[in-house]
Amino acid sequence: MRVVALWVATTAAAVIGLVWAGWRLSKSTTYQVFGQLVRRVDTDDSVVALTLDDGPSRVYTDSVLRILTDSNVHATFFVIGSSLARRPALGRRMVEGRQELGNHSYTHHRLVLKTPGYIRHEVEGTDSLIRAVGQEGAIPFRPPYGQRLLLLPWFLSRTNRLTVLWDVAADSDPAIAGDASRIVQYVVTHVRPGSIIALHAEIDSRTTGREALPRLIGALHAAGYRFVTVSDLLRRARS
């Protein structure tokens, strides 16, 4: 009985350890098993990439685009395929305004422990919609919630797709997300040349992200930074 109890305890500990390791791996912003992961670019230029997740929104995308246009800023919008399918005119406006569209999956469901067929539909379906509104060139991909484990990175690697995360999460920390001034200060404090900034300004609940956006742009301009798309930032990487 003691041997059986020891075997059960050891097996349970091993399973718990594997689950914990998998959970940590799925949330890592610095490592994935397959393919190329980018969270910041090593560059000598004073440039940053502003990325906006989870649109396009019928209510808020117009105002976000207006802020970017008024500030002469080009950003990368990581769009949800199902939202873009409902609002292709907004997608065309983004492309016509020289904004970049990135792929943020079709449903925004976590792509961890999903089948290869499900992952393919989520990625390729959204890519097709992005192409349909006029975007050319490579389409960067950002996993929903930044999470991936094995099959998603494997699929992205096999299809020559790049995983783009961030090194400055502007409004993800609850300690700062509720205050626009704190968001701006956090970004200014943590940004550096080649940073990729992640902001949510197209969601109903992210009022402070929208409030922070023009102030964030102004603060970084004052600090000498210029804004480029993710693809442009990648081209500026130090070899």
What is the per-residue DSSP string for the chain?
Answer: -HHHHHHHHHHHHHHHHHHHHHHHHHH-SS--SSS-EESB---SS-EEEEEEEEE--TTTHHHHHHHHHHTT---EEEE-HHHHHH-HHHHHHHHHTT-EEEE--SS----SS--HHHHHHHHHHHHHHHHHTT--S---B--GGG---SHHHHHHHHTT--EE--SEESS-SHHHHT-HHHHHHHHHHH--TTBEEEE--SSTT-HHHHHHHHHHHHHHHHTT-EEE-HHHHHHT---
| Cβ neighbours of 101 (radius 10 Å) | 26
73 and 5 within one domain: no
**Tokens of residue 196, six digits:** 């990729």
26 and 48 within one domain: no
- pLDDT score at 16: 39
184 and 89 within one domain: yes
72 and 13 within one domain: no
24 and 129 within one domain: no
38 and 25 within one domain: no
What CATH number did the domain enclosing 206 receive?
3.20.20.370
224 and 153 within one domain: yes
- pLDDT score at 13: 41
| Sign of the CA dihedral running 69, 83, 158, 200 | positive
59 and 12 within one domain: no
- pLDDT score at 30: 65
Domain extent for 217: 33-235
207 and 91 within one domain: yes
pLDDT digits (tens, 9 = 90+) for 82-93: 999 999 999 999
Whether the upstream peptide bond of residue 88 has omega within 30° of 0, thus cis, is no
Of the candidates 153, 209, 202, the one whose C-alpha atom is nearest the C-alpha of residue 177 is 209
Residues of the chain with pLDDT under 50: 4-9, 11-26
Give CA–CA dist 72/99, Å, rounded. Answer: 11
| Cβ neighbours of 133 (radius 10 Å) | 20
171 and 231 within one domain: yes
- pLDDT score at 230: 98
96 and 11 within one domain: no
What positions carry a catalytic annotation? 53, 200
The helix-helix angle for 116-132 and 88-96 (nearest 10°) equals: 60
25 and 54 within one domain: no
Q: Say what the pTM is.
A: 0.88
Instruction: Count structural domains, the chain.
Output: 2
- pLDDT score at 226: 98
Report which residue type is found at 30: T
